[in-house]
Structure 1
Amino acid sequence: MSLPPTRWELAGDRNRGYGETFAQRVAEGADVDGEARLLDAIAPRGARVLDVGSGMGRVAAALQARGHRVTATEPDAVLRAQSEATYPELAVLPHEALALDPAEVGEFDVVAVVGNVMVYVGEDTERRVLARVRELLAPEGRAVVGFHLTAVKAGSRTYPPDEFVADASAAGLRVVHRFGSYELHEANDEYAVWVLARD
């Protein structure tokens, strides 16, 4: 079955600055591990972790360095090449969320959908993506989803909290927590970090 183009694909070269920005931050020694610290905190030791839309690999590599068994997936060939160059020890699958087959990859203790992935999925596929996340979660597993609530990035969409919660519920997920950052600031109108579990 063919998949609809993602908003990321449709934005094309307008998104190339993402990888360049984080490459510069990594080179400068900046702290780029906020997401990884939160994911590590909620994961059992040596957890199976799936990073959906792993980008240039910084979150997946940080989790792998902390001893987790990480599966990274990134459909963008340019970002995948950057990931392989920056973190050569990190294997990256060329799949988007809907192309992941739970029968092949198995279940995960933690599924990461961070870095604005949800506001770049294909139009009207949000519930399908969240349903796939649920399929990929182990029974006691949790998903962490983070995105800007308004369309501040090239090609992204505005995704209001009530709509996201409705989509998650329809996909068989429930909200365990909502924060305003990966450092667990209180919820706000700019950015949301959700911790989800199977309903």
Structure 2
Amino acid sequence: MESERSFDSVTYYDRLAADLAPRYDAVTFDVVHPNLSEHLPTEGRVLDIGSGSGRDARGLAARGLQVTAVEPSLAFRHIGEANRFSGITWIDDRLPKLAHFDSVPPFDFILCSAVLMLFDLEDLRESFRTMARLLAPYGRLAVDIRDPMPGEPMGIHAHPEAQILKVAAGARLACIDYAERNDALGRPEYLWRSYVFSQQTLPCDRVREA
């Protein structure tokens, strides 16, 4: 097992991208994110953070949305760019800062799927602040996260629901939808928690319970 200090997710995904990409691409955006269709804009700008092979970016672009796909793994970016899918711009960047996005118009929808468990609490807070800054006033932020599994690197962190909601509220984001779902790739030990946030002043009941 790698220590927290030595674990680097970019190196990990660079090494395994060729094997992981066909598995990720074997399922569609709608299968992986069945709760998001009602929250997607009919047009506009979308930010997909941690795009991997580009499956979700392609699913969003197929709806006519202009997608910026952020992926720090060079191997995954090469795989995603090789598809030459219209409507997607690939960027080498990563949370918690997203340094290339200091002066860009806000996004109508932001997807951050299977990323935030790679950060400790401090970086989690900064990540939510960054995403809130990039979100349009009436936009939506979708976050998918799971708990670490036995045997995974120590660099994968557990963020309980109350912690996610508290950190999001600290970034002035309110939870407007929540769902739990099994893993679309058939890994029975994985249980995903899916949140949708908006820039609202009144938190939902789940935030108050936290």
TM-score (structure 1 length as normaliser): 0.79
Q: Which runs of 5+ in 1 are unaligned?
A: 184-188
| Residue 167 (str. 1) matches residue 172 (str. 2) | no
Match of 1:196 in 2: 197
- List aligned pairs for 1:42-191, cutoff 5 A: 42-87=39-84, 89=86, 90-97=88-95, 98-100=97-99, 102-114=101-113, 116-121=114-119, 124-151=122-149, 153-154=152-153, 155-181=155-181, 190-191=191-192
Distance 1:142 1:7 in 2: 34
Determine the structure 2 residue equivalent to 1:186.
none
8 Å CA contact 2:120–2:157 kept in 1: the answer is: no
Helix, strand or coil for the counterpart of 1:111?
A: strand
* Partner secondary structure for residue 27 of structure 2: coil
Structure 1 counterpart of 2:89, one-letter code: A
Deviation digits for residues 158-180 of structure 1, max 9, x if unmatched? 11111111111112111111100
162-171 vs 81-90, greater mean Cα deviation: 81-90
TM-score (norm 2): 0.75
Aligned Cα root-mean-square deviation (Å) = 3.0
Instruction: State the distance in 2 between where 1:104 and 1:150 align.
Output: 34
Instruction: State how many pairs are aligned.
Output: 186
Which structure has the bigger radius of gyration? 2
Structure 2 unpaired stretches of 5+: 184-189, 201-210
C-alpha change, 1:37 and 1:191, in structure 2 (3 Å) is closer
Q: Which amino acid aligns with 2:196?
A: V
Distance 1:10 1:73, change over 3 A: closer
Is structure 2 residue 31 aligned with structure 1 residue 31?
Answer: no
Aligned sequence identity (%): 24
